[in-house]
């Protein structure tokens, strides 16, 4: 990306201070500001990353429209739902960080995201957890393996003493992610979907099509990741899929999973990460914080990250 | 999809049980709704009012939602109304998320998730929508004390999100029939208004008809009801819901207060709850006659749960011994006994033989219909009488009945029948007509068919010789083989026909089994079920000779197993086998208790087809890597394993060197699942076990199968050792710190170099 400068905008002084401190660890040049009117001074054509509160989303959108060299990241203490249409509309707004009420963004999430945006390599699933985490990884080839694996995820959550609803939610999430990776992702040489037509079928993926699931936890967070070797998940499917699902109304059943898959992922994880290497790999990661009860979780603004690398 | 279920197989993710009563059907879903849920297929069975009990739905996938929406769309075309009860939080989420998730259905109740932080415990509490309407509208479910520690438990959901759909739902109350059904059949709490006892009364020249609807409790107006009762009084209890101790006591008082000399009480359509509480000395007082009542029944085949209506007069000889008549499932026609508890059955001993006149019963039927009409469909349970008991006409008749059933053992005769005719399968029999004295009135158009005459002659000539008797059932003309089966006398024509067809199929399977020359196959397969078959038939023969009153049970055993076996055969074999040409000969007999039907059916099957089937069943599949050989499940095995209709039977196993060497997997073992995957046949076993073994080659694990051998159900398996990889150097990568710092903090690294 070649960005070496970060513009930080938040009208809340405390949040601004904390975000600035965290982002100092990136090694980039930081320009913090409380007042959006200061922003134009720094829009001089230098490639920059604009990190801002959703309070100033209008300013951010204006800047992104006029400054093609600027990338952005926005955090919000209100429902992330409201930001999704902006992200859908603006390709350079692919990172939405949900924060608890009156709190700054999660430090580790902010640093993790910005570091990757600044060009750091994908640091692996372990970077989302504390050292000493435990987990498992499985390659899934058949529908029977998928079902067994979903139960394995539920058992894993059970071992962590997760409440029943969290266990089932993660089982559901694992199933959803695996269905996408096994039925929607695989295409033949001509780029035609191989298995999407019949999602009820019992299938066996070719060795080159195998989906990989990882599930891990450090006792504070639980992370699930599913990877397919196709890299066919387009950005618009993510943001428009979620927005459409949230819009309610009659369900669109024209697509395989009724267009609800993305919404499922969004609703089941506090943080959703989509890593896409077009034509090579799609990795979807869901993260849940175990200290959050369901009531808090329902009201918690979600984070959505979309990374596309070549 | 399918425990007990309407559409399931062992190990299915979703189990659906069905409870039916008249026009009301309840489907209870347990498990996961995903791509395997075939909504439209399930919807085919729906009719009348549908209640969906969704309390145990744990998960639902996005594709499952699609199937669900298709299901609801299909159901809306067939059901008058849809109610949702005990919706789990997961289901409420879907109502909130997907606008057309519930169609026009109404939620009567749901589970609200609660949490006690102190105990770190999640619970759920049932909320009745009508009772808590205000709370729902205000989105404020109150805290409640924790059952364990007494600290407050709080509603663990975001109220705004959780009540989105419910806030749009108007206040709803189930109609009386649904409320009764919920309270009585599902033991489900419904609002007080719906449960309050209502009394409808109709007085005509023939007698008095009283209909009670609602809960029978302390508020039962017994004095008012008993006032001025005289003559014959029929009390219809079909709409009585819950009966509590006070209600039972009040009922007893009511019965006591009705003077025997001026009024005679007859009870009809007593619900199981009422039977358990009121069929006692106080409730019947030795003077109340029960005309009909309902017994709980659960079909072991399709899992339909229903209350079956029992005519006491017809089955009194069975009921007085506190035993249940057999029922035929109204959904799939499987015969099975009631699932009534011992307590329930014990209550039946207090029944007295009913003496209600035909006129009174007709009046009662008419009155019931008349009273129900204005209410707009609160229909009384309309289950057909579907029992298959022995005749209630004394020992001689009972013996003849049993004798008639015992194909290979006894000579047909005993029952004097007056008319018969032969007809081909596409021609329906013309019913014979009898006068009141049992005399034949119409003329028979046909003489007895020759095959029937020959069969009777051979059977008679067998004189108890089992082998000769067996041979009588099989006739041969050119390349065709014919298999004869016949039914016992039964008041239901369709049932009688079905039983005869099963008997014929049973003979066909038996013939196939005995035609196999391969000694290994015979010793492995035939020996397993032949012994069981003989045992059942011998027991039956002994019971008949001893006249020990166990005939009904023994015969039930025979029927049940034979039906299982035939069903299995039809599932596992070729199409031609399932629909062979057939000839039918039927007798209609008029006896004291009414009309009885008997069927003789002769199936025609080409010898070549039989040879092909035998080849199919005896061809062994070798699994080289496992050093075993297996064959497909043979239908005759259903005599031994009535709960299975598929699997693979081990016919050869290398127990010296093969991987199964230290396991009890032996010749004859039936493999039902492998690696939790149902095994349809030997080929499937080969595929599954080889895949599993391959999969475990490096990572290690257990190859595990669920098997049956005799009465033993075992999980057998062997361990595949993990291949320990040589030590490798783990290259830690930096966690994304700025250059210069990279690698300095070597933690948080997923040990998979690809990601």
Mean pLDDT computed over every residue of chain B: 74
What DSSP string runs through B576-603? HHHS-EEEEEEEEEEETTEEEEEEEEEE
Is residue B496 predicted with pLDDT exceeding 80?
Answer: no
Is residue A264 predicted with pLDDT exceeding 60?
Answer: yes
Instruction: Tell me if B734 is assigned to some domain.
Output: no
What total of structural domains would you count in chain A?
2
Residue B155 shares a structural domain with residue B76: yes
What DSSP string runs through B184-252? HHS-----HHHHS-EEEEEE-SS-EEEEEEEEESTT--HHHHHTT--EEEEEEEEEEEEE-HHHHHHHH
What pLDDT score does B468 carry?
73
CATH at residue A41? 3.40.50.2300
Q: Which of B47-56, B236-245, B539-548 has the highest mean pLDDT?
A: B47-56
Residue B139 shares a structural domain with residue B273: no
Is residue B188 predicted with pLDDT exceeding 70?
Answer: no
Residues of chain B contacting residue A115, judged by C-beta atoms under 8 Å apart: 736-737
What pLDDT score does B186 carry?
60
Residue of B245, B288, B281, B287 whose CA lies nearest to B266: B288
Residue B288 shares a structural domain with residue B399: no
Closest residue to A294, CB basis, from B13, B66, B157: B157
Residue A141 shares a structural domain with residue A98: no
Residues of chain B contacting residue A175, judged by C-beta atoms under 8 Å apart: 34, 59, 61
Residue A107 shares a structural domain with residue A163: no
What pLDDT score does B382 carry?
28
Instruction: Tell me if A87 is assigned to some domain.
Output: yes
The two tokens of residue A160 are 């962590």
Residue A142 shares a structural domain with residue A188: yes
Q: Which residue has the higher pLDDT, B72 or B451?
A: B72
CATH at residue B666? 2.30.42.10
Instruction: Tell me if B612 is assigned to some domain.
Output: no
Residue A150 shares a structural domain with residue A278: yes
pLDDT band at B93 (very low <50, low <70, confident <90, very high): confident
Residue B142 shares a structural domain with residue B276: no
Identify the helix (H) or strand (E) that includes residue B28.
strand B24-33
Is residue B305 predicted with pLDDT exceeding 80?
Answer: no
Residue B580 shares a structural domain with residue B640: no
By the CB < 8 Å criterion, does B123 face chain A? no
Q: For B309-325, what is the mean pLDDT?
A: 81
Q: Which of A10-14, A294-298, B576-580, B640-644 has the highest mean pLDDT?
A: A10-14
What pLDDT score does B385 carry?
23
Q: For B606-616, what is the mean pLDDT?
A: 85
pLDDT tens digits, one per residue of B267-284 = 998 888 888 888 887 788
Closest residue to B34, CB basis, from A115, A175, A258: A175
Tell me the ipTM for this assembly: 0.85
What pLDDT score does A143 carry?
93
Say yes or no for a CB contact (<8 Å) between B157 and A263: no
Q: For A13-27, what is the mean pLDDT?
A: 94
By the CB < 8 Å criterion, does A301 face chain B? no
Q: For B64-81, what is the mean pLDDT?
A: 88
CATH at residue A227? 3.30.565.10
Contact B380, B547 (CB under 8 A): no
- Domain containing B103 equals 14-177
Residue A35 shares a structural domain with residue A160: no
Q: What is the dihedral of CA B154, B158, B159, B163, to 10 degrees?
A: -130
Residue B114 shares a structural domain with residue B43: yes
Closest residue to B738, CB basis, from A26, A129, A137: A26
What pLDDT score does B183 carry?
72
Buried b (16+ CB within 10 A) or exposed e, B459-488: beebeeeeeebbebbbbeeeeebbbbbbbb
Which residues make Cβ contacts (< 8 Å) with residue A64, sequence separation at least 6?
A50, A70, A72, A90, A92, A93
Residues of chain B contacting residue A125, judged by C-beta atoms under 8 Å apart: 750, 755
Instruction: Tell me if A257 is assigned to some domain.
Output: yes
d(CA B48, CA B51): 10
Residue B163 shares a structural domain with residue B213: no
Residue B572 shares a structural domain with residue B678: no
Q: For B165-179, what is the mean pLDDT?
A: 81
pLDDT band at B661 (very low <50, low <70, confident <90, very high): confident
Instruction: Tell me if A122 is assigned to some domain.
Output: no
Task: Please state, for a pLDDT cut of 70, what percent of chain A lies above it.
Answer: 94
Q: For B531-541, what is the mean pLDDT?
A: 74
Instruction: Tell me if B614 is assigned to some domain.
Output: no
Say yes or no for a CB contact (<8 Å) between A293 and B115: yes
CATH at residue B269? 3.30.750.24
Residue B592 shares a structural domain with residue B624: no
Contact B340, B295 (CB under 8 A): yes
Residue of B214, B266, B268 whose CA lies nearest to B243: B214
pLDDT tens digits, one per residue of B418-448 = 222 232 333 333 333 333 233 333 333 456 7
Residue A173 shares a structural domain with residue A302: yes
Q: Which residue has the higher pLDDT, A106 or B517?
A: A106
The domain boundary, picked from B142, B177, B212, lies at: B177
The domain boundary, picked from A64, A84, A117, lies at: A117
Instruction: Tell me if B611 is assigned to some domain.
Output: no
The domain boundary, picked from B345, B375, B405, lies at: B375
Instruction: Tell me if A216 is assigned to some domain.
Output: yes
Q: How many CB atoms lie within 10 A of CB B90?
A: 21
The two tokens of residue B686 are 């080969």
Contact B284, B250 (CB under 8 A): no
Is residue B233 predicted with pLDDT exceeding 80?
Answer: yes
Instruction: Tell me if B240 is assigned to some domain.
Output: yes
Phi, psi for residue A201 in degrees, rounded to 5: -70, 150
What total of structural domains would you count in chain B?
4
Is residue B392 predicted with pLDDT exceeding 80?
Answer: no
* N-terminal to C-terminal alpha carbon distance within chain B: 36
Closest residue of A to B734, CA-based?
A123
Residue A258 shares a structural domain with residue A164: yes
Q: Which residue has the higher pLDDT, A120 or B719?
A: B719
By the CB < 8 Å criterion, does B65 face chain A? yes
Instruction: Tell me if B641 is assigned to some domain.
Output: yes
Q: Which residue has the higher pLDDT, A168 or A259?
A: A168
Residue B437 shares a structural domain with residue B582: yes
The domain boundary, picked from A117, A144, A179, lies at: A117
What pLDDT score does B577 carry?
64
pLDDT band at B330 (very low <50, low <70, confident <90, very high): low
Mean pLDDT computed over every residue of chain A: 90
Residue A184 shares a structural domain with residue A90: no
- Domain containing A9 equals 5-117
Is residue B735 predicted with pLDDT exceeding 70?
Answer: no
pLDDT tens digits, one per residue of B559-598 = 777 777 777 667 666 555 667 788 888 877 776 666 777 7
pLDDT tens digits, one per residue of B347-380 = 888 888 888 888 888 888 888 777 665 433 333 3
Q: Which residue has the higher pLDDT, B550 or B317?
A: B317
pLDDT tens digits, one per residue of B673-732 = 887 787 888 988 998 888 888 888 877 888 888 888 876 777 788 888 777 655 544 444
Is residue A256 predicted with pLDDT exceeding 60?
Answer: no
d(CA B533, CA B30): 36
Residue B418 shares a structural domain with residue B533: yes
Instruction: Tell me if A123 is assigned to some domain.
Output: no
pLDDT band at B743 (very low <50, low <70, confident <90, very high): very low
What DSSP string runs through B602-635? EEEEEHHHHHHHHHHHH--EEEGGGTEEEEEPPG
Interface of B with A in 536-555 (CB under 8 A): none
Residue A294 shares a structural domain with residue A200: yes
pLDDT tens digits, one per residue of A127-137 = 999 999 999 99
Residue B557 shares a structural domain with residue B704: no
By the CB < 8 Å criterion, does A25 face chain B? yes
The domain boundary, picked from A117, A146, A178, lies at: A117
Residue A237 shares a structural domain with residue A112: no
What pLDDT score does A84 carry?
92
Contact B452, B422 (CB under 8 A): yes
Q: Which residue has the higher pLDDT, B162 or B227?
A: B162
């Amino acid at each position: 990306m070649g960005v070496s400068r970060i513009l930080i905008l938040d009208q809340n002084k405390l949040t601004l201070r904390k975000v600035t401190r965290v982002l100092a660890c990136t090694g980039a040049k930081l320009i913090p500001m409380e007042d959006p009117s200061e922003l134009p001074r720094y829009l001089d054509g230098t490639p920059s990353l604009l990190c801002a509160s959703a309070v100033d989303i209008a300013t951010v959108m204006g800047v992104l429209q006029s400054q093609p060299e600027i990338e952005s990241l926005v955090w919000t203490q209100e429902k992330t739902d409201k930001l999704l249409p902006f992200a859908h509309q603006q390709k350079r707004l692919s990172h939405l960080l949900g924060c608890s009420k009156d709190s700054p963004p999660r430090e580790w999430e902010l640093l993790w995201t910005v570091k990757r945006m600044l060009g750091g390599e994908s640091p692996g699933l372990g970077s989302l957890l504390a050292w000493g985490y435990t987990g498992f990884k499985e390659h899934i080839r058949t529908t029977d393996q998928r079902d067994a694996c979903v139960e394995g995820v539920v058992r894993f959550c059970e071992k962590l003493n997760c409440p029943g609803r969290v266990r089932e939610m993660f089982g559901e999430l694992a199933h959803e992610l695996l269905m996408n990776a096994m039925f929607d992702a695989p295409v033949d040489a001509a780029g035609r979907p191989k298995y999407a037509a019949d999602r009820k079928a019992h299938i066996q993926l070719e060795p080159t099509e195998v989906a990989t699931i990882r599930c891990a936890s450090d006792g504070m967070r639980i992370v699930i990741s599913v990877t397919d070797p196709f890299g066919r998940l387009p950005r618009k499917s993510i943001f428009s899929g979620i927005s459409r699902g949230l819009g309610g109304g009659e369900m669109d059943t024209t697509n395989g999973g009724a267009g609800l898959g993305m919404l499922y992922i969004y609703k089941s994880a506090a943080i959703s990460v989509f890593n896409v290497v077009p034509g090579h790999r799609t990795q979807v990661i869901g993260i849940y914080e175990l200290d959050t009860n369901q009531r808090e979780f329902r009201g918690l603004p979600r984070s959505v990250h979309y990374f596309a690398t070549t | 999809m399918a425990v007990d279920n309407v559409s399931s197989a062992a190990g299915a993710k979703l189990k659906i049980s069905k409870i039916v009563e008249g026009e009301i059907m309840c489907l209870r879903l347990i498990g996961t709704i995903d791509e395997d849920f075939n909504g439209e297929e399930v919807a085919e069975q729906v009719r009348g009012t549908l209640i969906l009990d969704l309390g145990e739905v744990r998960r639902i996938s996005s594709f499952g939602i699609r199937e669900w929406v298709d299901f609801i769309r299909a159901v809306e075309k067939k059901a008058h109304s849809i109610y949702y009860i005990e919706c789990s939080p997961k289901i409420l989420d879907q109502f909130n998320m997907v606008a057309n998730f519930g169609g026009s259905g109404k939620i009567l109740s749901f589970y609200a998730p609660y949490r006690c932080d102190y105990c770190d415990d999640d619970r759920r509490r049932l909320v009745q929508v009508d009772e808590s309407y205000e709370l729902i509208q205000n989105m404020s479910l109150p805290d409640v004390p924790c059952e364990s520690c007494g600290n407050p438990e709080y509603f663990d959901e975001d109220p705004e999100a959780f009540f989105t759909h419910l806030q749009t739902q108007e206040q709803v109350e189930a109609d009386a029939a649904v409320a009764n059904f919920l309270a009585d059949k599902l033991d489900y709490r419904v609002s007080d208004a719906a449960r309050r006892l209502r009394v409808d009364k109709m007085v005509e020249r023939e007698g008095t008809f009283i209909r009670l609807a609602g809960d029978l409790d302390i508020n039962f107006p017994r004095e008012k009801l008993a006032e001025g009762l005289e003559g014959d009084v029929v009390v219809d209890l079909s709409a009585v819901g819950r009966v509590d101790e006070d209600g039972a006591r009040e009922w007893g008082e009511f019965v006591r207060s009705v003077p025997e000399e001026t009024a005679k009480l007859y009870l009809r359509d007593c619900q199981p709850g009422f039977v358990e509480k009121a069929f006692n000395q106080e409730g019947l007082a030795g003077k109340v006659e029960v005309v009909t009542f309902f017994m709980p029944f659960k079909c072991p085949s399709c899992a339909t749960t229903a209350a079956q209506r029992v005519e006491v007069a017809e089955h009194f000889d069975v009921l007085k011994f506190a035993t249940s008549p057999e029922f035929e499932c109204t959904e799939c026609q499987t015969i099975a006994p009631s699932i009534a508890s011992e307590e329930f059955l014990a209550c039946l001993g207090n029944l007295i033989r009913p003496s209600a006149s035909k006129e009174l019963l007709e009046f009662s039927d008419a009155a019931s219909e008349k009273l129900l009409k204005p209410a707009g469909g609160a229909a009384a349970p309309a289950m057909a009488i579907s029992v298959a008991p022995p005749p209630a006409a004394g020992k001689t008749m009972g013996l003849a009945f049993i004798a008639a059933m015992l194909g290979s053992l006894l000579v047909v005769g005993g029952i004097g029948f007056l008319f018969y005719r032969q007809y081909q399968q596409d021609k329906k029999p013309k019913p014979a007509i009898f006068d009141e004295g049992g005399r034949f009135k119409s003329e028979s158009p046909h003489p007895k068919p020759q095959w029937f005459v020959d069969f009777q002659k051979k059977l008679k000539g067998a004189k108890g010789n089992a082998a000769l008797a067996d041979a009588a059932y099989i006739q041969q003309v050119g390349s065709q083989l014919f298999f004869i089966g016949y039914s016992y006398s039964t008041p239901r024509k369709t049932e009688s026909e079905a039983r005869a067809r099963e008997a014929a199929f049973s003979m066909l399977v038996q013939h196939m089994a005995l035609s196999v020359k391969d000694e290994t196959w015979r010793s492995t397969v035939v020996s397993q079920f032949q012994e069981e078959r003989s045992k059942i038939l011998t027991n039956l023969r002994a019971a008949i000779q001893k006249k020990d009153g166990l005939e009904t049970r023994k015969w039930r055993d025979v029927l049940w197993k034979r039906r299982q076996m035939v069903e299995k055969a039809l599932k596992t074999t070729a199409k031609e086998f399932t629909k062979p040409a057939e000839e039918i000969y039927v007798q209609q007999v008029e006896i004291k208790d009414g009309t009885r039907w008997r069927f003789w059916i002769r199936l025609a099957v080409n010898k070549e087809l039989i040879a092909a089937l035998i080849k199919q069943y005896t061809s062994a599949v070798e699994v080289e890597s496992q050093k075993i050989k297996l064959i497909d499940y043979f239908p005759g095995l259903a005599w031994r394993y009535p709960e299975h209709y598929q699997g693979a039977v081990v016919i050869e196993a290398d127990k010296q060197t093969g991987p199964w060497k230290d396991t009890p997997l032996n010749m004859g073992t039936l493999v039902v699942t492998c690696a939790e995957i149902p095994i349809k046949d030997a080929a499937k076993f080969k595929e599954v076990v080889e895949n599993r073994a391959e999969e475990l080659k490096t990572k290690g694990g257990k190859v595990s199968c669920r098997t049956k051998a005799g009465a033993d159900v075992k999980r057998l398996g062997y361990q595949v050792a993990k291949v320990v990889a040589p030590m490798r150097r783990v290259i830690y990568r930096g966690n994304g710190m700025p250059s210069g710092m990279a690698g300095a903090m070597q933690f948080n690294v997923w040990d998979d170099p690809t990601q």
